[in-house]
Amino acid sequence: MAKRKFLKYTSIIFFQLIIVLTAFALNTKNIQAEETPSYLTEIPPGMDYNQVKSKIFVTDTASKTLITGDKNGSGISNNAFGSPVNGVFPAFIDIGGTNSPQGTLWSTDDTSFDVTKSHTISMWTYFNTEPIDGGLAFVLQNDPRGVQALSTVTSDSKTALAPVETLGVWASDQNNLTHVSGAIQNSWALEMDTSLNNSGLVNDSFDDGLSTTGNMHIAAGYPGMESSYTPLSNGAYKLNHTDPDYHLVSGEGSGYFWHHLEITFNPNGDGTANVTYKFNDKNLDGSKNTNTGTETATNPIASSNTFKIDLSNFNLKDGQKLRWGLVGRGTSKSISTLESVDTLVDAGITTDTIDTTQDKTLSGSNDYVNAGDNMTLRYNLKYKSGKVNWANIYSKIKIPANLTVTGGIINYSNGTSESLNASEVSNGTLAHQLSQSLNSSNDTATVDVYATTPSLVTKDTKVNGEVAAFFGDTYAGNVTTQDFTIRNNVTKDLNISSTSPTSTSIKKSDSATINGNLKYGNGSDFDSYGVDLYVNIDGKDQDTTQITPDTDKSELNFSEVLSGTTLGVGTHTVKIYAKDSYGNTSQTLTFTITVEDKYANVAAADDLKFQNMTSNYVGIVKRDGDWNIKVTTANSPWELTATAKKLVGSDGDDFDGSIIYKNGSSIQSMQDQIVRIGGSTEAQTGTIDIGKEYWKDSNDGVLLQSNAGDKKSPKYTGVITWTLTDDLEND
């Protein structure tokens, strides 16, 4: 019995031990969850960890050690605190920290910038809520050290980290061969500096004179150029901040930890490029930041600036790319997550809000829809170029208020499609995983979400656009739909009429004008929007024109001018109708316009002169200068004639003589007589210079015959009329 009792006792102790261990494990897990930093649980959608680490930045073993021998304080990790979406773990990039305060990440050769092309990089940044003693910089560089580029100092013949104020980018005040030799060479930097170095001491005066507004300033310059610095009397240097931009970036609460940053590079074609940054331009949900007023932790203010940079400062060889990267310094980490890097995948998203009942795409000026109308929210995904696919694309489409989703479809450029179901909408958001990747052979996906408006509204209802996010492993982007107003339908007869002939012929050089009028059948006024005029030529829709009412709001007049040159030779069918903002549509007017295959035109200078002469001169007076008379034809015969009026003096007397036309030995008076200058009975195309083709020298052509009578006036003027005929018959 004692033996059995011992066994029973042992079993109880073992069972209790399991309970204790289990409770301890559960308690440990709960503590970890409570300590999870909330900024990580709110990390925005971004590029996948594996893509960022293996394709964007150089992350080999050598890069883990800085040129100074210090550990590179940069890291790329998957967001273990967030949930992967469609298999994508957004990468977060941390730079700095207590143990390794200096960090760098440089682009690979493949993802560096081709300076002949435009580039865009977008990311979200977080600057910690702890005391900040450094900052982060976006750097473009062609430093000979490549991915080991870093701001350093020389101490006891050893290379060491530069002081904190340099961020690892700028030149330190002392301990270098020359002042700027320790900076990153052949470079340009955009700094986001979270430490105000303004003590006036050596290695702590870069920010001398800057405002204390906020706790971060954004500025830019060339780290390796002396012009970026101003020496102070004690051996310290001030960094020349051009147009600094101040922000508050720490102490934020939930929903405000992350700050959006977009950087674009646009070459100008003249050896310069414009680099533009946008900071705080988007809210965490991807919507546009429209905050105003004083910036606070929960009221971030958007800002932007453009810098024109001189590409010669990078000393690039022909065809050489420009490396970009992130460089940071501080015992507190700066954290980023990349949305897009166009040198890996260049993609984009646009949107259209379509009233399918009225067959119109909404715009800023025509944003009305009727109650009961069917709507399409269209999202256009475009893969422009890239080195890899845009894969694992997941969509989160927030549906605008007052719309009920009925379904939808995704059409790919490779001809395949997939359906969207209303059941995929939860809490006002449609979440859907796209079944296909986008790449150069399947470069578009058109996502159409079908919805309806309420059948009746109690008043005109303004509906704000909403954000749709599309994120995959190599690109994350979002777009906001058009705002619109829902109104109850008002049905009216919209009548259109025209006094212009339904059939007309014009020359290619002419235009046809169609005049028209619009009225409601009940005689009511048009609203302030008026109508949209739709013109279709030979089956092709033209740009829509808005016709707005003037003083008389009961009718609208329009005039459509159609150029023969634009139409082209031939017979054209033109159809015109109108539609008001409620969708009331007029009848369609149809016109036939024939453009003839002939063209002839004469051009002559307005002021023609003869050479000066004495008052008693008798004889022929030549032309003064090149009269530059030209005939241009297209598939047309032509004949040019001219006639002249008598010359009248400035003192009122008639000139004794007349304008003549001389062709060899033949002389004809042009005064009140039509004289043939030249022509062709055969159809010609081209430009004929009359002076060169028909007047062999200065003794031929239009001349002035001066007779013996006295000329009392110092100046005589008259008129020559040139007439071009283009309908000659070929005998």
Residue 251 has what pLDDT?
A: 66
Average pLDDT over residues 296-301: 92
Q: Is 357 left (phi over 0), alpha (psi -120 to 50) or beta?
A: alpha
- Confirm or reject CATH 3.30.310 for domain 39-341, answering yes or no: no
CA–CA–CA angle 18, 24, 29 (5° rounding)? 130
- SS3 label, residue 287: coil
Average the pLDDT over 90-115 and give the result.
92
Question: Is 722 within 8 Å of 602 (Cβ atoms)?
Answer: yes
Highest mean pLDDT among 129-143, 404-418, 540-554, 712-726: 404-418
Under the banding of pLDDT at 50, 70 and 90, the label for residue 86 is: low
| Model pTM score | 0.74
- Which residues neighbour 233 within 8 Å (Cβ) at sequence distance 6 or greater? none
To which H or E segment does residue 649 belong? strand 648-649
| Segments in 269-381 forming alpha helices (H) | none
- The tens digit of pLDDT for each residue in 103-122 reads 999 999 999 999 999 999 99
> Alpha-carbon distance 593 to 599, whole Å?
17
- Asked if pLDDT for residue 598 goes beyond 90, the answer is no
Average pLDDT over residues 530-539: 97
**Domain ranges within the chain, ordered by starting residue:** 39-341, 347-487, 494-596, 599-725
In this structure, are residues 694 and 661 in contact, taking their beta carbons and an 8 Å threshold? no
pLDDT at residue 79 in the model? 61
pLDDT tier for residue 82 given thresholds of 50, 70 and 90: low
Cβ contact 133:167 at 8 Å: no
CATH 2.60.40 given to domain 599-725:
yes
> Where does 517-574 have alpha helices with state H?
564-567
Residue 66: band (very low, low, confident or very high) from pLDDT cuts 50, 70, 90: very high
pLDDT (mean) for 612-627: 91
Provide the token pair at 221: 């310059």
**32 pLDDT exceeds 70?**
no
Determine the Cα–Cα distance for residues 99 and 117; give it in Å rounded to an integer: 39
Q: Which CATH number fits domain 494-596: 3.40.50.1220, 2.60.40.650, 3.30.465.10, 3.40.50.10420?
A: 2.60.40.650
Banded model confidence at residue 20, pLDDT cuts 50, 70, 90: very low
**Segment 141-156, tens digit of pLDDT:** 999 999 999 999 987 7
Beta strands 334-341 and 511-520 are unpaired
Sheet arrangement for strand 259-267? 74-78, 91-95, 334-341, 119-126, 259-267, 272-279, 303-310
C-alpha distances (whole Å) from 341 to each of 56, 112, 608 are 8, 10, 64
- Pairwise CA distance, residues 102 & 167, whole Å: 8
Percentage of residues of the chain with pLDDT beyond 70: 92
Q: Per CATH, is 347-487 categorized as 1.20.140.10? A: no
Q: How far is the C-alpha of 659 from the C-alpha of 669, rounded, in Å?
A: 6
Q: Show the tokens assigned to 415.
A: 């001809």
Q: Where are any strands of DSSP class E within 474-623?
A: 476-480, 484-487, 494-498, 503-507, 511-520, 531-537, 540-541, 545-547, 555-563, 570-580, 589-596, 599-603, 619-621
| 347-487 and 599-725: identical CATH topology | yes
Is residue 33 pLDDT above 60, yes or no? no
332 near 131, Cβ under 8 Å?
yes
- What is the predicted pLDDT for the residue at 80? 52
When pLDDT is cut at 50, 70 and 90, the band that residue 89 belongs to is confident
Buried b (16+ CB within 10 A) or exposed e, 377-409: bbbebbbeebeebbbbbbbbbbbbebbebeebe
Which structure tokens are listed for 349? 């998203």
The tokens of 164 are what? 């904190």
pLDDT, residue 131, reads 52
Res 224 pLDDT > 70 = yes
Query: How high is the pLDDT of residue 253?
Result: 78
Q: Are 114 and 336 in contact (CB under 8 A)?
A: no
One-letter amino acid for residue 451 of the chain: A
How far apart are the C-alpha atoms of 330 and 471, rounded to whole Å?
31
Q: Which long-range contacts (CB under 8 A, 24 or more apart) does 695-700 make?
A: 698/622, 698/623, 699/620, 699/622, 699/662, 700/662, 700/663, 700/664
Per-residue pLDDT band for 132 (boundaries 50, 70, 90) equals low
Confirm if 365 and 546 have CB atoms less than 8 A apart: yes
Q: What is the pLDDT of residue 85?
A: 61
Tell me what the pLDDT averaged over the chain comes to: 90
Q: Are 282 and 304 in contact (CB under 8 A)?
A: no
